[in-house]
Amino acid sequence: MLPIPTKFTLVVGHGEGDKKLTAFDAALLDAGIGNMNLLRVSSVLPPKCAFENVFKLPAGSLLPIAYGSLTSDVPGEIISAAIGVGIPEDPSSFGMIMEFSGFCTKDEAALKVEEMVREAFAMRSLALKEVKVKSIEHKVERCGSVIAACPLFYETTGGGY
Amino acid sequence: MLPIPTKFTLVVGHGEGDKKLTAFDAALLDAGIGNMNLLRVSSVLPPKCAFENVFKLPAGSLLPIAYGSLTSDVPGEIISAAIGVGIPEDPSSFGMIMEFSGFCTKDEAALKVEEMVREAFAMRSLALKEVKVKSIEHKVERCGSVIAACPLFYETTGGGY
Amino acid sequence: MLPIPTKFTLVVGHGEGDKKLTAFDAALLDAGIGNMNLLRVSSVLPPKCAFENVFKLPAGSLLPIAYGSLTSDVPGEIISAAIGVGIPEDPSSFGMIMEFSGFCTKDEAALKVEEMVREAFAMRSLALKEVKVKSIEHKVERCGSVIAACPLFYETTGGGY
């Protein structure tokens, strides 16, 4: 079986590019995940997966990640993305990750994603301890992109990286 | 290299939510895969991968999965999803997985996905032994979602979970 | 942590099918990746990842892959896809992979993807040694699909496959 991630963090980024994919790439770089191979997952916080404020992985790593993103080439548009992680009351339980993106402010995006986390916990009759949220907004110049993400990674031992 | 899955099953689910992502989440829960990290793949049944009627994995597992899904917020709409797995005549060969979703009945979805499996076998000049199909339909109330999926997983030893 | 790929190649394919998913399947087959489980990644060439002209993996393998693809059911339309890999000057650095698809010729697609690779290197202030590009075009008959992809895989030892 594939190894279950043991660590998570929350990152956000925004950026501009010549094309939609390079704008997305600029947002990834700003979020600190531009040099990794993102493997998009949908979207559960494994039990005992611990929050780390910083994370550093080798370039090219296959990184399981849940994210919301939006890219627009309409100058002047406000685009936002938010990521929310619900931490369970019971430390042996899993939690839930929700993502949102839309043409709104970062505060509106954060509010929506928090509601979604609460709904996901309610559906499972899981007691919620805390919702960690990060959100970001960007005003498009030429072609802009936002991302809000929850990278899932692994305990590493030693000083290799 | 990443380990090749040795087991598969077929699941379907439907549900309602406040938003499209939470409706999708409700469908995942109904299908029994709401507490795992779905890693979407496209879509081959590995050789000797065996069907299991039930499957149980730890919450937060990275689960390779092929699926068709549809979410709608138009009350009254009928949405359907189907998953089909073609089992090869030759037990040492691989098989093919196809997914379908649309605004139709579950029987129409099942028929389409079976045609797609037959076409995939014909393209490869593979002899087909059997097509396993599961399909589901849902009449949207506020915001509804359907999923039909083929989780791919691994032999587990012992009673760990 | 998930193992970091050590090899890459570039493939292109096109094909026709009865439905969009089977047209995509025909393009995958034409590209030589139709019998594997594609795990889409976004899109970094790991350091020291080496180019191999041919690659052969067991059917059903989980294959990390970056790709651009387009499928159309409008007879007569020209569809194209291109994949570009930027190789860094510094052999210990990572590189970048970009993908593109559109309603244009394969030469236009190749040009766009090369520009995107150059932009991704410029954003990172990375020195570029070479851009490897493959592109393909297809004139739709009934329902056609193109794919241009960069499979990422692993050193294998012995003659197992």
Q: What CATH number is associated with residue A48?
A: 3.50.20.10
Residue A42 belongs to a domain:
yes
Beta strands in C89-126 (DSSP E): 95-102
Label residue A160 by pLDDT band (50, 70, 90): very low
Label residue C15 by pLDDT band (50, 70, 90): very high
B111–chain A nearest CA distance, Å = 28
Diameter of chain C by CA atoms? 47
Average pLDDT value for chain B: 94
Specify the pLDDT at position B54: 86
Mean pLDDT confidence for B85-105: 97
Instruction: Yes or no: say if A11 and A149 are a contact pair by the CB < 8 Å rule.
Output: yes
Contacts of A55 (CB under 8 A, 6+ apart): A7, A9, A151, A153
Residue C160 belongs to a domain:
no
Q: Using CB atoms, which residue from C1, C98, C123 is nearest to A154?
A: C1
Mean pLDDT confidence for C23-27: 97
Residue C69 belongs to a domain:
yes
Strands A7-8 and A144-153: antiparallel
Mean pLDDT confidence for C57-67: 96
Specify the pLDDT at position C161: 37
**Interchain proximity B153–A1, CB inside 8 Å:** yes
Residue B2 belongs to a domain:
no
How far apart (Å, rounded) are the C-alpha atoms in residues A90 and A85? 15
Report the chain B residue with the minimal C-alpha distance to residue C6. B1
Specify the pLDDT at position A122: 97
Contacts of B143 (CB under 8 A, 6+ apart): B16, B17, B18, B19, B20, B22, B23, B71, B72, B73
Tell me, rounded to whole angstroms, the distance of Cα A77 from its chain centroid: 22
Q: Does C61 touch chain A (CB under 8 A)?
A: no
Residue A142 belongs to a domain:
yes
How far apart (Å, rounded) are the C-alpha atoms in residues C46 and C51? 11
Specify the pLDDT at position A55: 85
Mean pLDDT confidence for A59-81: 97
**Interchain proximity A64–B29, CB inside 8 Å:** no
Residue A116 belongs to a domain:
yes
Q: Does C52 touch chain B (CB under 8 A)?
A: no
Q: Using CB atoms, which residue from C41, C116, C123 is nearest to A62?
A: C41
Answer yes or no: is pLDDT of A45 > 70: yes
Tell me the percentage of chain C whose pLDDT exceeds 70: 96
C-alpha dihedral over A64, A68, A73, A79, to 10 degrees? -150
Q: Which domain holds residue B40?
A: 7-153
Answer yes or no: is pLDDT of A161 > 90: no
Helix (H, G, I), strand (E, B) or coil at A112: helix
Label residue B24 by pLDDT band (50, 70, 90): very high
> Which chain C residues have a beta carbon less than 8 Å from that of A17?
119, 123
Residue of C1, C20, C25, C41 to mutate, interface with B, max B Cβ within 10 Å: C25
Q: Using CB atoms, which residue from B4, B47, B99 is nearest to C62?
A: B4
Q: Does B127 touch chain A (CB under 8 A)?
A: no
- Structural domain tally of chain A? 1
pLDDT digits (tens, 9 = 90+) for C110-152: 999 999 999 999 999 999 999 999 999 999 999 999 999 999 9
Answer yes or no: is pLDDT of B159 > 50: no
Residue A127 belongs to a domain:
yes
Answer yes or no: is pLDDT of B37 > 60: yes
How far apart (Å, rounded) are the C-alpha atoms in residues B90 and B129? 8
Instruction: Write down the H helix ranges in chain A.
Output: 20-31, 106-123
Closest CA to B43 of B97, B110, B107: B97
Mean pLDDT lowest among A85-99, A147-161, B100-114, C115-129: A147-161
Residue C15 belongs to a domain:
yes
Specify the pLDDT at position A9: 97
Answer yes or no: is pLDDT of C93 > 80: yes
Instruction: State how far the alpha carbon of A113 is from the alpha carbons of A33, A118, B59, in Å.
Output: 21, 9, 21
Answer yes or no: is pLDDT of C157 > 80: no
